[in-house]
Chains A and B, each alone.
Chain A
Amino acid sequence: MKVIDLVNELDLQVFSGKEGLDNEVSCGYTSDLLSDVMGHAEAGSIWVTIQTHKNVMAIASLKDMPAVIITSGERPGEETVEQSNNENIPVLGTTMRSFEVSGKIYNILAKK
């Protein structure tokens, strides 16, 4: 499944990294502790978090993540947006809480 499919299905806002909307999503990871994500997220995971710091992008890139979803209506900082565009890793947004959007993604991926 591609990032753009999730954007359409879950009505996600695309903040940045549009070039990466065709990135392939194979699984997901939900966490706000960046040390935890660095240690445990699998490549191909779409990352659900409320963290907006620019280190999010460095870790998304390090872990070969297709996209990041920022939840609860939070918005990425300027530098996060810039890095997202440079790395072609989209930063997406939703007003849903992490629990809700994670559950939806889980179900969508399970059907594939």
Chain B
Amino acid sequence: MSSIIGPKQFQIPRIFPRPMSHSGIWYWLGTVDHKKIGTMYGIVSFFWFIMGGIEALLIRVQLSQAENDIISPELYNQLFTMHGTTMVFLVVMPLSAAFFNWLIPLQIGARDVAFPRLNALSLWVFIFGSILMNISWLTGEAPNGGWFGYPPNSTIQFNPGNGMTFWVLGLNVLGVASIAAGLNFIVTIINMRAPGMTLMRMPVFTWMTFITSILIVLALPILGVAGIQMTGDRVYGTNFFNSEAGGDPIFWQHIFWLFGHPEVYILILPAMGIVSEILPTFARKPLFGYTFIVFSGIIIGFMGWFVWSHHMFTVGLGPAANTAFTLSTMLIAIPTGVKIFNWLATLWGGSIKFTTAMLFSIGFIAMFTIGGLSGVTHAVSPSDAQQQDTYYVVAHFHYVLFGGSIFAIFGGLYFWWPKFTGYMLNERLGILNFIIMLIGFNLQFAPMHWLGLDGMPRRIYTYAENMGWELSNLAATIGGFLIAFSVLIFMVNVFISRINKKLASGDPWDARTLEWSISSPPPHYNFVEIPKVEHIDDWWYKKYPELLEGSPKQTKSPKVTVEDTSNVDESKIHLPDLSYYPLFVGVGLSIAALGVIYSYALVTIGLILVFWGCIGWSTEPVNEPHEKHH
């Protein structure tokens, strides 16, 4: 196949020749391969996971006893602001994006995402946006107004300095990355499915990615608008939220949570997708009630738009609004409950193998249930007036976001690690990792329930001795260090797998979906031939077609094996060439944003980079017109 050459058109001078090798730093900087991009998403967001974890540990050290003064109040405020911002925007979202990138093309039988260069743009904008936000630490002015940035405490009038400006600009840059990625995956999932893969034959993870992407595309622009308004207030003297000029702080809360509540589902739906892949694999049973699980996901995504004011039960919206949002919030418990029961039914009657991935998934159900139940107690808005802004809330959302999202993500890492790297992780270490994380997690966050009910507010850097909060806080701190230890075990496990190089087969878990039908790690073109899909869990039924006829006691040995790639003529497979332009645009955006704080010269440089990148991007041919592919 000859390469695609665009019509003769204006071409700007090519300062950087396209990298053509498949390794080395220049290759990684220019790659548009969804797998490489997924890997980079994973590595960078894991780095921020460590940073956010260190921030959490410092918070826990400070709170371990009453009247502690290890950390100053100013630093403490910066730590909890950056812990929340980091874990939401730089860890759970991009770690989910790492899974989207790696798995979606593989699960739907495609060679790449719909817009590979846009995908690279998302990655680079994310990376430089995350750096932009954290540069603030080096200036000594890290954001200190909370991850929710409530004005007036976040306005320039009450919070001078650059901290919250870094925060809001960082969020705006990161929003670009998320929206681009969301669009990309929507288009990919709609258009690039292999023949025969109808919507209702898609793996559940693909479904949840699809719903999440729609939520991202609808929710992140709201944050973007709020962020531009706040940037205006802080830098250019506008008065959207400036209460001294009549601006309305409640206005910010509405738009922030109108984004913020769908955001919660952006964080948890991918986790639900991951678990829905792992449970059937190790129970050797199909997912119970595929249709119900998919539709409850859709309903959660839809109803997530009608509950935002439950974050605002105490701001004085009045009994009518509180009633409406109480009821809408309670309704969400129904589709969530359905999912939990369906997962349990998947396990029921199965033949369960307790791999690390499976343990994390079962742990997910157990912990997420607790978070869901405490969520129902929050929905009861009269009693929520006691719990709002106390440690009870902290306990609740960590059960959902750590016991939920992070447990599932770890499960996903153990499950797909062989596919991602070609090497197996050590299961013994994995199980140790799970057990310590489970104990540490509960030791840290369960006592926070009582702390909240005992009247300990959130975001306080110290508390008095006679309040009766010491024991629970000490337990929580110990738990925090146990979690840190379990993450360390994971890193050791990764390190050992690099040394031992225990090779993984293409389908080490006897799994069900298309990504397991190819070798581990997959070749850069993914599938030699695009598969034809006939069922849900197509790979499973290709392996064991006898299951379609009856219910045999035993599976015969698989009918098909993982694709052999030794005799593939790669030149027959069309893949997009590398491009540096996404990198330029990504760097340019962050430089321009930094310039908003420091100087217009930087803004100019950044914008020139962005425009140059965009023009170069739109004029470069998809593939280099040269001899390589002939």
Please determine whether chains A and B interact with each other in the same assembly: no
